[in-house]
Amino acid sequence: MVKIKSAEAIDKAYRDAISRVPERYKEGVSTVTDWQEKALAGQKNYEEQMTKPEVLARRARALEKVSTDEWRRKAAELGTKRIADGMRANADKRRANYEPIRKAIEAATLPPRTTDPYENIRTRVTEIVKVMRKASGKE
């Protein structure tokens, strides 16, 4: 028999740690200097793992364990608490990332409107999409 703490003792330790974790996490993050290099160095391993059927099947098994009600409840409880802070924290980054796209749209020249709405979609909307994709580096 393996000696292990009771479920209650483990749960208590977990709950007691919650108040200490954010500051320790922040301290740990502040010492990292080479996350990007290490992540890029692991790209080959990541790609190799993502080709294995058993690895890919794990995602499906995990998704099957979560009901729509549970997903909805957690998304509502956690998401509503986190979304505004995340948006505030990233507002400057969003603006900087979107500005080249906005400028490209502003500078685009569209063909004149026609009386055919489908032709307008083919010519005008397609042109906007092309400009946006080019400005975002996707083309």
Q: What is the pLDDT of residue 129?
A: 97
Q: What pLDDT score does 2 carry? A: 77
Residue 6 lies in a domain: no
pLDDT by residue (tens digit) across 7-34? Answer: 999 999 999 999 999 899 999 999 999 9
Domain membership of residue 72 (yes or no) is yes
Q: What is the pLDDT of residue 122?
A: 96
Which CA distances in Å does 127 have to 49, 98, 108, 114, 122? Answer: 38, 18, 8, 15, 8
In this structure, is residue 27 part of a structural domain? no
The whole domain housing 75 covers: 44-91
Residue 117 lies in a domain: no
Six token digits for residue 2? 């393996």
Low pLDDT (below 70) residues in the chain: none
Asked, for residue 1, whether it belongs to a domain, the answer is no
For the chain, the average pLDDT equals: 94
Q: Is residue 110 part of a domain?
A: no
Q: For residue 68, is it within any domain?
A: yes
Overall domain count for the chain: 1
Tokens of 59: 């995602």
Is the residue at 11 inside a domain? no
